[in-house]
Amino acid sequence: MNDHPILTEHPWLIVTFTIAIVIMLLIDLGLFSKHSHEVSNKEAVTWSIVWISLSMLFSGLVYYYAGAAKFYEFQSAYWIEKALSVDNLFVFILVFKFFDVANKNKHKVLFYGIIGALVLRAIFIFSGAFLIELTYLNKILSYFGVAGFKYDINIIMTLFGLFLVYAGIKSWSAGDEDDDEDYNNTRGARLIRKFFNVSDKYDGDKFFTFENGKKLATPLLVVVAVIEFTDLLFAVDSIPAIFAISNDPFILYTSNIFAILGLRALFFLLDNFIHLFSKLTYGLAFILSFIGIKMIISPFYHIESIYSLLVIGGILLLSVLLSIMFPEPKE
C-alpha cells in the first residue's frame, strides 16, 4: 500500500550510508577503542559534534535526492530517537554505578552495546514495516470480500499509539524507580550467569579471565548483557514512536542508527552533567503521548512531519531550559 522510493530509486543514499557507518565504526574501534581509557569532556564534545554533523550532512543528502518531505521525516525520527535514547542513558549510568564499572571500561561496554543495537534495530524496523503493510484494516477486509471503510485504519499503528500514550503517562509518574533496581536480577545478568560461571572480580577490560585454571566470565560481560537487554526494552518505546513519523524503513533505520552512534559521546557528557537534565523525563513523557495520539488519529487527520519536528524540538528545548533554570542538586 505504501511504496518506499528511497530503497528503489536512490541507491547512492544506501551506499553512502553504509560506507559512512563502516568507516566511522572502524575509526572508532581502531583509534579510540584500541586501549580502554577514560573519556574526557573534550573528547566527548568533539565526538558529539562529529556525529551530529555527520547526521545533518546525511539528512542534507536525503533532502537533495528525495525531497523536503523525506528530509523532515529523517529529522523528526532522528531527534525522537536521540531524545528517547537520552532517557536510556540515564539507566546506563545507574547500571555502571551498580556494578562499579571503572570509567576507562565504560567506553568498551558502550561500543559493544551499540553494535548489538545496530542489529536489533534493523530487525525491529524492517519487520515492523512489513507487519504494518499487512495490517491495514481495509486490506484485511478486502481479502474476505468485505467493502472497506472510509478511513483506512491500521491495527498495528493504532495499538502502537495506545501503548505510547500509556508509556508517556507512566513515564511522567515513574519518578526514581530505577534507582532501587537490582540489576543483578535482570534478564541479561541471569542469562550470562546461566551459561557461564562469573568471577567476583574485574580483570581490566576483559570479558573472560582465568582463576585457579578455570575460565570465568568477568562482571564486565554481565554489564554488557544488562546494557543490551536495557536497550532492547527501550526499543519497545522508540521503534513504535518513529513509525508515527514515516513508513519508509530506510529513513527510519538511517535516522535511528545515526542517533544511536552518537550516544556514547553523549553518555560521558551526561554522566558529568546529569543534574542539568532533571526535567527531560517529563518532556520525553509528553513527546511519547503526543506521538501516540498522532498515530491514533492519523487515519482521520494527518499531522505533517514538519509540524511534528517543531513540536518535538520545542518540547526538548523547553525541557532543557527548565532543567537549567531549576536544576536539582548535584549528587
Largest CA distance in the chain: 72
Instruction: State the Cα–Cα distance between residues 72 and 54, nearest whole angstrom.
Output: 16
| b/e per residue 166-194 (b: at least 16 CB within 10 A) | ebbeebeeeeeeeeeeebeebebbeebee
Per-residue confidence in pLDDT tens, the chain, 331 aa: 444 555 556 677 788 888 888 887 777 655 555 556 566 778 778 888 888 899 999 999 899 888 898 999 999 899 888 888 777 787 888 888 889 888 888 888 888 888 888 888 888 888 888 888 888 888 888 877 777 677 778 899 899 999 989 888 887 766 555 556 778 888 888 999 888 888 888 988 889 998 888 888 999 999 999 998 888 877 877 788 888 888 888 889 889 888 888 777 778 777 766 666 778 788 888 888 998 899 899 888 888 878 888 888 898 889 888 888 877 665 5
Q: Quick one: which H or E segment has residue 306?
A: helix 305-325
Residue from 220, 225, 224 nearest 208 by CA: 220
Q: From its phi and psi, is residue 192 left (phi > 0), alpha (psi between -120 and 50) or beta?
A: alpha
Predicted confidence at residue 2, as pLDDT, reads 45
Beta-carbon neighbour count of residue 199 at 10 Å? 21
Q: Please provide the size of the chain in residues.
A: 331
**Beta strand extents in the chain (DSSP E only):** 208-211, 214-217
Beta-carbon neighbour count of residue 115 at 10 Å? 13
- C-alpha distances (whole Å) from 166 to each of 73, 159, 161, 171, 285 are 24, 11, 9, 8, 10
> Which residue type does 245 have?
I
Instruction: State the Cα–Cα distance between residues 86 and 83, nearest whole angstrom.
Output: 5
> Which residue type does 123 have?
I
Are 61 and 13 spatial neighbours (Cβ–Cβ below 8 Å)? yes
Specify the pairing of strand 208-211 against strand 214-217.
antiparallel
Are 251 and 102 spatial neighbours (Cβ–Cβ below 8 Å)? no
Predicted confidence at residue 75, as pLDDT, reads 92
Predicted confidence at residue 178, as pLDDT, reads 54
User: What's 34's DSSP letter?
Assistant: S
| Residue for grid cell 528530509 | 71
Predicted confidence at residue 74, as pLDDT, reads 92
Predicted confidence at residue 1, as pLDDT, reads 41
> Which residue type does 60 have?
G
Are 116 and 231 spatial neighbours (Cβ–Cβ below 8 Å)? yes
User: What 3-state class would DSSP assign to 154?
Assistant: strand
Residue from 247, 244, 246, 248 nearest 294 by CA: 244
Residue from 168, 112, 163, 106 nearest 295 by CA: 163
> Which residue type does 317 have?
L
Are 86 and 17 spatial neighbours (Cβ–Cβ below 8 Å)? no
